Structure 1
Amino acid sequence: MSKRLINKVAVIGSGIMGSGIACHFANIGVEVLLLDIVPRELNDTEKAKGLTLESKVVRNRLVNDSLTNALKSKPSPIYHEKFASRITTGNLEDDISKVSVADWIIEVVVERLDIKKKVFETLDKHRKPETLITSNTSGIPIHFMSEGRSDDFQKHFCGTHFFNPARYLKLFEIIPGPKTTPEVLSFLNNYGEQFLGKTSVIAKDTPAFIGNRIGVFSIMSLFHTVKSLNLTVEDIDKLTGPVIGRPKSATFRTVDVVGLDTLVHVANGILENCKDDERLELFKLPDFINTMIENKWLGSKTGQGFYKKEGSDIKTLDLDTLEYRDKKSAKFATLELTKTIDKVVDRFEVLISGKDKAGDFYRKTFAALFAYVSNRIPEITDELYKIDDAMKAGFGWEHGPFQIWDAIGVEKGIAMMKVEGLEPAVWVNDMLESGNKSFYTIKNGASYAYDIPKKTQEKIPGQDAFIILDNIRKSNEVFKNAGVVVEDLGDGILNCEFQSKMNTIGGDVLAGLNKAIDLAEKDFQGLVVGNQAANFSVGANIGMIFMMAVEQEYDELNGAIKYFQDTMMRMRYSSIPTISAPHGMCLGGGCELSMHADKVVAAAETYIGLVEFGVGVIPGGGGSKELTLRAQDTFRKGDVELNTLQDYFLTIGMAKVSTSAYEAYDLGILQHGKDIVVVNKDRQIGTAKSYAKLMAETGYTQPIKRKDIKVLGKQALGMFLVGTDSMEASNFISEHDHKIANKLAYVMAGGDLSEPTLVSEQYLLDLEREAFLSLCTERKTLERIQHMLKTGKPLRN
Structure 2
Amino acid sequence: MKRTIKKVAILGSGVMGSRIACHFANIGVEVLLLDIVPRELNDEEQKKGLSLEDKAVRNRIVNAALESTMKAKPASLYDKAFISRITTGNFDDDLPKIKDFDWTIEVVVEKLEIKQSLFEKVEKYRKPGTLITSNTSGIPMHLMCEGRSEDFQVNFAGTHFFNPPRYLKLLEVIPGPKTDPGIIDFLMDYGDRFLGKETVLCKDTPAFIANRIGVYAIISGMHAIEKMGLGVSEVDKLTGTIIGRAKSATFRTMDVVGLDTTVNVANNLYKTLEHDESRDKFKLPKIVEKLYENKWWGDKTGQGYFKMIRHKDGRKELKEIDFETFEYKDVEKPKFKALEASKEIDDLKKRIKFLVNFDDKAGEFYRTTFYDLFKYCSHRIPEIADELYRIDQAVCAGFGWEYGPFENWDILGVKETVEKMEAAGEKVAPWVHEMIKNGSGSFYKVEAGQRLYYDIPSKSYKPIPGAEDFIILETLKAADKKLWGNAGSSIYYLGDDVIGLEFHTKMNSLGQEVIEGINTAIAMAEKSYKGLVIGNEGQNFSAGANLAMLFMFAGDQEFDEINLMIAGFQKTMMRARYSSVPVVVAPHNMALGGGCELSLHADAVQAHAELYMGLVEFGVGLIPAGGGTKEMTLRFSNQVKEGDVELNRLQEYFMNIATAKVSTSAEEARGLGYLQIKDSITLNRKRQLAEAKAKVLSLYEAGYSQPVEQTNIKVLGKTSLALFEAGITGMLYGKYISEHDAKIARKLAWVMSGGDLSSATEVSEQYLLDLEREAFLSLTGEPKTLERIHSILFKGKPLRN
Both structures adopt the same fold (TM-score exceeding 0.5): yes
Task: Verify the 8 A CA contact 1:20 1:165 in the aligned structure 2.
Answer: yes
What is the CA-CA distance between 1:603 and the residue it aligns to?
0.5
Distance in 2 (CA, whole Å) between partners of 1:791 and 1:67 is: 39
Name the residue aligned to 1:489: 494
* 384, 390, 393: which one aligns with 1:389: 393
For residue 334 of structure 1, what is the amino acid of its counterpart? Answer: A
Pairing partner for 2:772 from 747, 763, 768: 768
Residue in structure 1 matched with residue 588 of structure 2 by the alignment: 583
**Equivalence for 2:628:** 623
Q: Which residue of 2 aligns with 1:167?
A: 166
Deviation at 1:402, TM superposition (A): 0.3
Q: 1:543 aligns with which of 536, 548, 551?
A: 548
The partner residue of 1:696 within 700, 703, 708 is 700
| 1:522 corresponds to | 527
* Structure 2 residue 568 is the aligned partner of structure 1 residue 569: no
Please name the residue that 2:55 is paired with. 56
**Is structure 2 residue 438 aligned with structure 1 residue 434?**
yes
- Bigger shift: residues 335-344 or 167-176: 335-344
Letter matched to residue 494 of structure 2:
L
Alpha carbons 1:318, 1:325 under 8 Å: kept: yes
Please give the alpha-carbon distance, in whole angstroms, between the structure 2 residues aligned to 1:420 and 1:92.
Answer: 56
Cα shift readout 1:301-343 (whole Å, capped 9, x = no counterpart): 1110000001211000001110000011011111122211112
Once residues 791 and 400 of structure 1 are traced to their aligned partners in structure 2, the CA distance between those partners, rounded to angstroms, is: 33
Listed as ranges, the matches of 1:768-787 within 5 Å are: 768-787=772-791
User: Which residue in 2 is equivalent to 1:115?
Assistant: 114
Name structure 2 gaps, 5 residues minimum.
311-315
Can you list the C-alpha shifts for 1:214-269, whole angstroms capped at 9, x where unaligned? 00001101111112112111110000000000111000000000000000110011
Q: Distance in 1 between matches of 2:201 and 2:357?
A: 36
Q: Secondary structure at the match of 1:174?
A: strand
Structure 2 residue matching 1:630: 3-state secondary structure: helix
Aligned to 1:468: 472
Shift, 1:754, TM fit: 1.0
Q: Is the deviation greater in 314-323 or in 417-426?
A: 417-426
Residue number in structure 2 paired with 1:187: 186
Q: Per the alignment, in what secondary structure is the counterpart of residue 528 of structure 1?
A: strand
**Structure-1 residue corresponding to 2:361:** 357
Q: Which amino acid counterpart does residue 620 of structure 2 have in structure 1?
A: V
- When normalised by structure 1's length, the TM-score is 0.99
The residue aligned with 2:603 is: 598
Query: How far apart in 1 are the matches of 2:344 and 2:289?
Result: 41
| CA distance in 2: counterparts of 1:438 and 1:307, whole angstroms | 40
Match of 2:22 in 1: 23
Give the distance between the partners of 1:568 and 1:48, measured in 2 at CA. 63
Report Cα offsets for 1:355-403 as digits up to 9, x if no partner. Answer: 1100111111111010010011111101100000001100000000000
Give the whole-Å Cα distance in 2 for the aligned partners of 1:401 and 1:134: 29
Match of 1:102 in 2: 101
Contact 1:447 1:460 in 2 (8 A): yes
CA deviation after TM superposition for structure 1 residue 291, in Å: 2.0
SS in 1 for 2:37: coil
Secondary structure of 1:600's counterpart equals strand
- Higher mean C-alpha displacement, 593-602 vs 725-734: 725-734
Name the aligned partner's letter for residue 134 of structure 1.
T
Note the C-alpha offset of 1:636.
Answer: 1.5
Contact 1:337 1:350 in 2 (8 A): no
Indicate conservation of the 8 Å contact 1:211/1:394, yes or no: yes
Aligned to 2:78: 79
Taking the aligned partners of 1:676 and 1:185, their CA distance within structure 2 comes to 28
Cα displacement (A) at 1:627:
0.5
Counterpart of 1:497 in structure 2: which amino acid?
E
- Alpha-carbon offset, residue 271 of structure 1: 0.5
Q: Deviations over 1:459-486 (max 9, x none)?
A: 1111121111111125211211112111
Instruction: Check if 1:736 corresponds to 2:740.
Output: yes
Distance, in Å, in 1 between the alignment partners of 2:440 and 2:376 is 20
8 Å Cα contact 2:19-2:165 kept in structure 1: yes
Instruction: Give the secondary-structure state (helix, strand or coil) at the position aligned to 1:527.
Output: strand
1:698 deviation in Å? 1.3
> Any conservation in 2 of the 1:139–1:269 contact (CA below 8 Å)?
no
Q: Report the counterpart of residue 403 of structure 1 in structure 2.
A: 407
Spell out, residue by residue over 1:126-185, the C-alpha distance to the aligned partner (whole angstroms, 9 max, x if none).
101111111100011111000000000001111110000001001110111110111111
Shift of 1:792: 2.3
Residue 316 (str. 1) matches residue 320 (str. 2)? yes
Report the counterpart of residue 419 of structure 1 in structure 2: 423
Using the alignment, how far apart are the partners of 1:141 and 1:515 within structure 2?
56
The answer for the alignment partner of 1:271 in structure 2 is 270
What is the SS of the residue equivalent to 1:370? Answer: helix
The answer to whether the 8 Å contact 2:576/2:583 transfers is yes
Identity %: 57
Q: How does 1:342-353 map to 2 (within 5 A)?
A: 342-353=346-357
AA in 1 matched with 2:89: G
CA distance in 2, matches of 1:561, 1:357: 48
Counterpart of 1:39 in structure 2 is 38
Deviates more, 1:225-234 or 1:599-608: 225-234
Q: Which residue of 2 aligns with 1:641?
A: 646
Letter of the 2:641 partner, please give it.
Answer: R
Q: CA deviation at 1:721?
A: 1.1
Distance 2:739 2:410 in 1: 56
Unmatched runs of 5 consecutive residues or more in structure 1: none
Q: Does 1:508 align with 2:513?
A: yes
Structure 2 CA distance for aligned equivalents of residues 643 and 221 of structure 1: 59
Deviation at 1:288?
A: 3.0
Q: Is this contact kept in 1: 2:13–2:34, CA < 8 A?
A: yes
CA-to-aligned-CA distance 1:710-765 (integer Å, 9 cap, x gap)? 11001111111111111011011111111111110111011111111110000000
Q: Which amino acid aligns with 1:208?
A: A
How far did residue 791 of structure 1 move? 2.7
CA RMSD of aligned residues (A): 0.9
**How many residue pairs end up in the alignment?**
795
**Runs of 4 or more above 4 Å deviation:** none
| Contact 2:226–2:285 (CA under 8 A) maintained in structure 1 | no
CA distance, structure 1, for counterparts of residue 196 and residue 773 of structure 2? 40
**Amino acid paired to 1:517:** I
3-state SS of paired residue (1:586): strand
1: CA distance between counterparts of 2:223 and 2:551? 48
Deviation at 1:287, TM superposition (A): 2.2
Please name the residue that 1:677 is paired with: 681
**SS of structure 1 residue aligned to 2:539:** coil
8 A Cα contact 1:345 1:399, kept in partner? no
Task: Give the alignment partner of residue 482 of structure 2, picking from 457, 477, 481.
Answer: 477
Aligned mates of 1:392, 1:791 — CA distance in 2: 31
Q: Which amino acid aligns with 1:607?
A: Y
Letter in 1 for 2:16: M
User: Do the aligned partners of 1:618 and 1:740 also contact (CA within 8 Å) in 2?
Assistant: yes
* Preserved CA contact (<8 Å) 2:498 2:532: yes
- Does 1:654 find its partner at 2:659? yes
Letter of the 1:536 counterpart: F
Instruction: Look up the equivalent residue of 2:696 and give its one-letter code.
Output: A
**Is the CA contact (8 Å cut-off) linking 1:174 and 1:188 kept in structure 2?**
yes
Does the 8 Å contact 2:226/2:287 carry over to 1? no
What is the CA distance between 1:519 and its match in structure 2?
A: 0.5
2: distance between equivalents of 1:279 and 1:242? Answer: 28
Moved more, 472-481 or 593-602: 472-481
Where 1:94 maps in the other structure, the secondary structure is: helix
Match of 1:607, SS state, is strand
How far apart, in 2, do the equivalents of 1:791 and 1:435 lie?
51
Q: Does 1:261 align with 2:255?
A: no
Return the alpha-carbon distance in structure 2 between the equivalents of residues 294 and 551 of structure 1: 61
1:300 aligns with 2:304: no
Q: Which residue of 1 aligns with 2:313?
A: none
2:211 is aligned with 1:212? yes
The answer to whether the 8 A contact 2:656-2:672 is kept is yes
Residue identity opposite 1:494 in structure 2: I
